[in-house]
Amino acid sequence: MDLQEEINHRVLSILAEEPELSQRELAVRLNTSLGKTNFVLKGLLEKGWLKTRNFKNSRNKWAYAYVLTPEGLMEKSRITARYIRRKLHEYRMIEDELKTLKEEHGQLFDEIENG
């Protein structure tokens, strides 16, 4: 998963749970600038993964909800699957490395493991 894909996934995940977040609130959640957040949202809207809806009972006529489209939900699922595959691969590599370390340094490994 590259950086842009990770950001897209985080945005889609957050908005799937809280579609009524403002861009400013989303930027805080992402720990990024408002401009970057706006740029990412525009990209997701252009790809058709998000759509906007006005709040019906909002006093602020500029308030939007960001709703995942069916395509956005599918892409979120695909990104999540790739992320899980990558993490499982990393996990298996770490397991193999720990096994090798235990074979090479058994007593030290046991002391560290048992505190």
Rounded average pLDDT per 10-residue block, the chain, 115 residues? 87 94 95 96 96 70 83 94 94 95 87 83
The helix or strand, by DSSP H or E, that contains position 67, with its residue range, turns out to be: strand 64-68
Residue 55 lies in a domain: yes
Residue 22 lies in a domain: yes
Return the pLDDT at 18: 93
CB 44 within 8 A of CB 14: no
Residue 34 lies in a domain: yes
Domain count, the chain: 1
Residue 15 lies in a domain: yes
Structure tokens at 102: 């235990």
Structure tokens at 35: 């401009």
Domain harbouring 46, CATH code: 1.10.10.10
Q: What is the pLDDT of residues 67-90, one digit of tens each?
A: 999 999 999 999 999 989 999 999
Q: Which domain holds residue 69?
A: 3-88
